[in-house]
Structure 1
Amino acid sequence: MIKAPRGTRDLLPGEIEKWHYIEAVAREISAIYGYQEIRTPIFEHTELFLRGIGDTTDVVQKEMYTFEDRGGRSITLRPEGTAAVVRAYLEHHLQNQPQPVKLYYLGPMFRYDRPQAGRMRQFHQVGIEAFGSNDPSLDAEVVCYTWDFLSRLGLKGLRVEVNSVGCPECRPVFGRDLREFMNEHRESLCEYCRDRIERNPLRLLDCKEQRCQDLLKDAPGIHQYLCPECRGHFQKVRELLRVAGISFRVNERLVRGLDYYTQTAFEVSLEGMGAQSSVAGGGRYNNLVETCGGSPVPGIGVAIGLERVLIALEKLGVELPIKRPEYIFVATAGEDPSGELEKEAMSLLVKLRRAGYPAEKDFLSRSLKAQMKQAGRLGSRFVVILGTEEMKEGKVTLRDMERGSQINVTQQELFRFLENRKSGEAEL
């Protein structure tokens, strides 16, 4: 039997409703904050991610799904959403629209990683991107969006960590001193960090190897190297987060796993969730649009991992208020050698659905008793029973499964009852 590839999973009825609810909340919060939806291709030219994410990052070095198409072009399944949105921003000249341009996306991402809880090879993100402003209040807005989205879902114990990773003016000096410090411990570093020392020393801070993390405890911190502009920007971001009532902790080692971040970087995690506690992360990327071939345009965004959100909801015992359809079940009773009952059942089913009522019927020629059981399994509140005698009289039996009561009505009266029930004016 062929199974789903390792690191992927099927989302089945009974679970997919949770995804629909979370996605609906994301759309609602995005509308409140003024973000419009964008949908980009699932695969892009590999060069986009090499230039945008950075060729010394773990994502590019270890995790991308890259292949050649039949035309010999190098193609990569998107490992994250920001670079693709930047590409679309440039390709469709969104920089000519009134700024800031505020966009959100929902969809799958792909990374070749070791599958575990909350870390899949195909995973899903909600993300927002805002282009055209370097105002610290936009940084604060993105953090607030993340906080509000997660809080709206019922998650408690949110922990926000913020940092400034500087800019091309001040970061090189920090990189030089960090390189010198780590070179003294070169032999103790992992293979990747030995390479990072020369190519991109800031990536040393993102290494997950414990031996490298231990060495970094005594390494220089970036805050003493921040230029006046970056220091002032970070100060304003913190002030605005306090105004918004967002509690946070400054983490000088937080750099995120992508090269495009400048100034603000942040991460949101959940207390008591263990190794996979991080559910969202983002930051400012003021040079990414230029790196991808455009004129300098500041930007900032965040990505929220939906698998991790769902795991957190389950561990915390949060029940999502999912409203399931209240089906009307159309059943037939008695012998039907001429097929007239079946025709009438199909006709009524179509009428109900076209009038906007969720409706189902039997498709296995079961007995009335079995049909009633099926109606119960579907959670049907009402069953409309078509019998030979009722049909001769132009009526149906309407049964309330919850109350156990029933009445005989015409189809016109049936639809009048259903319409009145919408406003709570009718009960059997």
Structure 2
Amino acid sequence: MSKSLQAIRGMNDILPEQTPLWRYFEGTVARLLDNYGYKQIRMPIVEFTELFKRSIGEVTDIVEKEMYTFEDRNGDSLTLRPEGTAACVRAVLEHGITGGGQVQKLWYIGPMFRHERPQKGRYRQFHQIGLEVFNLDGPDIDAELIIMTWRLWGELGIRDAVKLELNSLGTSESRGRYREALVEYLSAHHDKLDEDSQRRLKTNPLRVLDTKNADTQAVLVDAPKMADYLDDESRAHFEGLKARLDAVGIPYVLNPKLVRGLDYYSKTVFEWVTDKLGAQGTVCAGGRYDGLVEQMGGKPTTGVGFAMGIERLVLMLETLEQIPAEISRQVDVYLCAFGEQAELAGLALAERVRDQLPNLRLQVNAGAGSFKSQFKKADKSGALYALILGDDEMAQQVVGFKPLRGQGEQQSIAWDALAAHLATCVVQG
């Protein structure tokens, strides 16, 4: 027997009962970004592999072990995007929209791909919302990104379940001095490091700070601290960021081991973390990458941004039971019609109501059926009210109006008055 077709491991279907919560989350974020003056950009999901090698760094875990890379028919090496910043930088460079110091405040949404071991909250195809800001170099824009996410957590009802961690990586020069001191210290304790950290010591030593190994963490207690190697400019920038967060009243924790997993970060780095999702604790992360545009062939252009994982934040909403009641109901009103003439009249009536109430979720029964079967479908739809059109209603040009949830008697509403009645009742319902 042939093997049944199924989705690739770690690449999941999002089923109809799940999509209302996704749409609620995505819509909430989109409205917030509109209110702050950000514009959406959409990039391809496939890019030349060289883009990610040049931006993320060839010795990062992502490039070395996690990218989905293949040759196309022309022999070009292509990669499914593992993150969005590099693609966004490529796009703004290609189209010249940051030239001449033009400020761009952009956001995007879509799937990313990494070949990781799938587990709850970590998948091979995952979805992110990301923001990138170009040509603003002060701590005020860093603060704005964090303030926006703080407002988002409040709107979603999860503010008490997340914590902000901050660090500064300084400029590339100060980070280079720190890297030398860190390598010297860790080399003296080489035998106490786990195997992965020993490998990173030669390729990407700052990532050792991010280890989850308890023995290596013990070694890091007395390791040099990045804060001691910051240049004056980076230190002033970081103090400016903290002052703005203090002014707004956003609590944060300084984490000297926070380095992020990508090579292009400088100065500010931050993560929003939670203890509600087990091992996958980061729900939003980002920072400043002032040298990335130049590194990718553009003129010196400052940049800062973040990305948030949609799967993890949707999971948080479910875990914390912060799901608005209205999004679980996909239908407000269900129209039942009995007989061909009633079906025809019902279609016309439904369209008139939709003209007057474009936001009303009105479902018309399809497939005919008995009185009992249509009411069963109306109840299963989750609708608040059923509309009834039969021979008697047709003769009087009224529609039966029956509450399906809670108290209330069935009544007859004239066709001309139906839209106004529904506007009142559905809002109240």
Does the aligned pair in 1 maintain the 2:353–2:418 contact within 8 Å? no
CA gap 1:146/1:423 in 2 versus in 1, 3 angstroms: closer
Q: Are the equivalent residues in 2 in contact too, given 1:162–1:264 (CA < 8 A)? A: yes
Q: Aligned to 1:9, which of 12, 16, 30?
A: 12
Aligned CA distance change for structure 1 residues 56 and 354 (closer, same or farther; 3 Å): same
**1:159 equivalent in alignment to 2:163:** yes
Structure 1 range deviating more: 212-221 or 304-313: 212-221
CA distance in 2 between counterparts of 1:272 and 1:343 reads 52
Q: Give the structure 1 partner of residue 85 of structure 2.
A: 82
Tell me the SS of whatever aligns to 1:140.
helix
1:224 and 1:360 mapped to 2: Cα distance? Answer: 64
Residue 327 (str. 1) matches residue 332 (str. 2): yes
CA contact (8 A) 2:330 2:381 kept: no
Which of 356, 359, 364 is 1:361 aligned to?
364
Q: What do the CA deviations read for 1:349-398 (whole angstroms, capped 9, x no partner)? A: 44444543432233233111111121122233333322234434544434
- Percent identity, aligned pairs only, is 41
Partner of 2:65: 62
Preserved contact between residue 17 and residue 322 of structure 1 (Cα < 8 Å) = no
How many Å apart are 1:112 and its aligned residue? Answer: 1.0
The one of 196, 204, 210 aligned to 2:208: 204
Q: Please, which runs of 5 or more residues in structure 1 have no aligned partner?
A: none
Segment of structure 1 superposing worse, 147-156 or 380-389: 380-389
Structure 2 CA distance, aligned partners of 1:316 and 1:407?
Answer: 40
Q: Which deviates the most, 208-217 or 11-20?
A: 208-217
Aligned partners of 1:56 and 1:203 also within 8 Å: no
- In structure 2, do the counterparts of structure 1 residues 208 and 293 end up closer, same or farther at CA, with 3 Å as the change threshold? farther
Query: 1:290: Cα distance to partner?
Result: 0.7
Does the Cα contact within 8 Å between 1:99 and 1:133 map onto a contact in 2? no
Q: CA deviation at 1:332?
A: 2.7
Aligned-pair CA distance for 1:186: 3.5
Specify the SS of the correspondent of 1:102. Answer: strand
Instruction: Give the 5 Å matches for 1:12-411.
Output: 12-96=15-99, 99-155=102-158, 156-271=160-275, 273-320=277-324, 322-323=326-327, 324-333=329-338, 336=339, 339-355=340-356, 356=358, 357-402=360-405, 403-411=407-415
What TM-score comes out, normalization by structure 1 length? 0.90
TM-score, normalised with respect to structure 2: 0.90
Matched position secondary structure for 2:98? helix
Q: 1:236 to 1:207 in 2, by over 3 A?
A: same
Q: 1:291 to 1:407 in 2, by over 3 A?
A: same
> Per the alignment, in what secondary structure is the counterpart of residue 280 of structure 1?
strand
Query: In 1, distance between residues paired with 2:210 and 2:424?
Result: 61
Equivalent pairs counted in the alignment come to 421
Gaps (5+ residues) in structure 2? none
Question: What letter matches 1:162 in structure 2?
Answer: L
CA 1:331–1:10 in 2, change beyond 3 Å: closer, same or farther? Answer: same
1:408 to partner: Cα distance: 4.0
